Amino acid sequence: MEAYQWPGNIRELENVLMKGVALSHSDTFTRELLPEHILCQSMGSTPPTAEKPLTARSLKDIEKEHISRILEANNWHRGKACEVLGVSRPRLRRMINEYGLVPPQGIVEEEED
């Protein structure tokens, strides 16, 4: 907890402690009670992009997340995803490759054009 920067100062610390105590099943406050973004920063890694405020994320991170959500919402149907995103199939294919997006198991990838 000392390694975390606490951008919300004492109010953020107080809220984290109160929530941890409320969720605890024992008299001991353990690491598992801390939010993931605090654990990540204290261990020297970056929190998942979803945990960062929008203003602290790069355009690439936001684009990757948006493309991933559109693909998931359309069950990885690339044609429908292209319509929603307003891009061509070759452009979508390049973005999928650039961001390393992979369909979940059980989803059969469409044949390439």
pTM of the model: 0.53
Phi, psi for residue 69 in degrees, rounded to 5: -65, -40
pLDDT value at residue 33: 82
Buried b or exposed e, range 71-82, using 16+ CB within 10 angstroms: beebebebeebb
Whether the pLDDT of residue 106 is over 50: the answer is yes
Each residue's pLDDT tens digit, 52-70:
777 788 899 889 989 988 9
How far is it between the farthest Cα atoms of the chain?
61
Residues 6+ apart with CB under 8 A from 9: none
Domain 59-99 fold: Arc Repressor Mutant, subunit A (1.10.10)
pLDDT value at residue 81: 95
Parse the chain into domains and list their residue ranges. Answer: 9-49, 59-99
Whether the pLDDT of residue 4 is over 90: the answer is no
Confidence of residue 90 (pLDDT cuts 50, 70, 90): very high
Question: Using CA atoms, how far apart are residues 73 and 85, in angstroms rounded to an integer?
Answer: 12
